[in-house]
Amino acid sequence: MEATVKIFRFNPETDQKPHFETYTMPVESTDRVLDLLEYIKGNFDGTLSFRRSCAHGICGSDAMRINGRNYLACKALVKDVGLKIKVEPVLGLKVIKDLIVDMDPFFEHFRSVMPYFVNDEPPPAKERLQTIEERERFDDTTKCILCACCTTSCPSFWANQEYLGPAAMVNAHRFIFDSRDRAAAERLRILNDQFGVFRCHTIFNCTIACPREIEITQAIGELKNAISTGALE
């Protein structure tokens, strides 16, 4: 069978504005959209630019908008997206070339929530222990691979790039609810900013887009609750 792939193209050195180009190629239903992009780059146009690395849904490099929804191209199969495929860069971030966007604002927000372990207490002889329940508390949010599918599917982020976005909050959640960490108060103060958690309008796009199936809206709800009550339950 044949698929028609319409791809967003933009080269800032030659193009005044972006345009779409369409390619037709033989496909299998189990092909991934990433395979199609590789095919186009190898057979039709070597200048097509996109990020990819592991190609197995772990590195989070190839987030893009496929048929109007954010996916990792390496996890989106032809049988799931159909034979008419439209591929665009993710929204809300500046396009550098074709499907490549500037991820700097995204990582700035990520860094702003202190996404690292903080504990100045002297460590015990062996290790900082944690019960199974305490570890399970933040298990979901440890799965984030920073692909930006969630943040760039969020209308609040499209409207205002100062908004921290779901990915930064997911990573804040991962440490705030870690019983070994001691910087929860500081992170909650950062999240309780004008463009912090309360800009989330529970639209659920992030939860739908997440390729790791993290319950992002629930995590953000737990952060709002923690700010309101002060309890890290």
Partner 1 sequence: MMQTRVVPQRGFNLDYIMFIFTRVSGLSIVLLALVGIILAMVMGARTQMDLGTLMRWTFFPNPNHVVNSDIPDVTLGWANAYWSTMQFLLIFFAFTHAANGLRMIVEDYVNRGVGQLLVRGFFFLLWLFMLITAIFVVLSS
Pairing type for strands 84-88 and 2-9 reads parallel
Q: Give me the least distance between CB of 133 and partner 1, in Å please.
A: 4
Q: Give me the least distance between CB of 131 and partner 1, in Å please.
A: 7
Q: Give me the least distance between CB of 154 and partner 1, in Å please.
A: 12
Q: Give me the least distance between CB of 110 and partner 1, in Å please.
A: 21
Cβ closer to partner 1: 21 or 193?
Answer: 193
Cβ closer to partner 1: 96 or 190?
Answer: 190
Spatial CB neighbours of 9, under 8 Å, sequence gap ≥ 6: 15, 18, 19, 20, 21, 48, 98
Gap between the Cα atoms of 98 and 101, Å rounded = 8
Gap between the Cα atoms of 228 and 105, Å rounded = 28
Q: Give me the least distance between CB of 172 and partner 1, in Å please.
A: 13
Cβ closer to partner 1: 20 or 117?
Answer: 117
98: left (phi over 0), alpha (psi -120 to 50) or beta: left
Up-side HSE of residue 179: CA atoms within 13 Å toward CB?
12
Gap between the Cα atoms of 64 and 81, Å rounded = 13
Cβ closer to partner 1: 2 or 233?
Answer: 233
Cβ closer to partner 1: 19 or 94?
Answer: 94
Q: Give me the least distance between CB of 231 and partner 1, in Å please.
A: 5
Gap between the Cα atoms of 222 and 216, Å rounded = 10
Q: Which residues form the interface with partner 1 (CB under 8 A)?
A: 131, 133-134, 137, 156, 159-160, 179, 184-185, 188-189, 192-194, 196, 198-199, 224, 226-228, 230-233
Structure tokens at 37: 């992009």
Q: Give me the least distance between CB of 189 and partner 1, in Å please.
A: 6
Cβ closer to partner 1: 97 or 182?
Answer: 182
Gap between the Cα atoms of 92 and 69, Å rounded = 13
Cβ closer to partner 1: 145 or 164?
Answer: 164
> Whose CA is closest to 76, among 88, 194, 185?
88
Gap between the Cα atoms of 140 and 130, Å rounded = 16
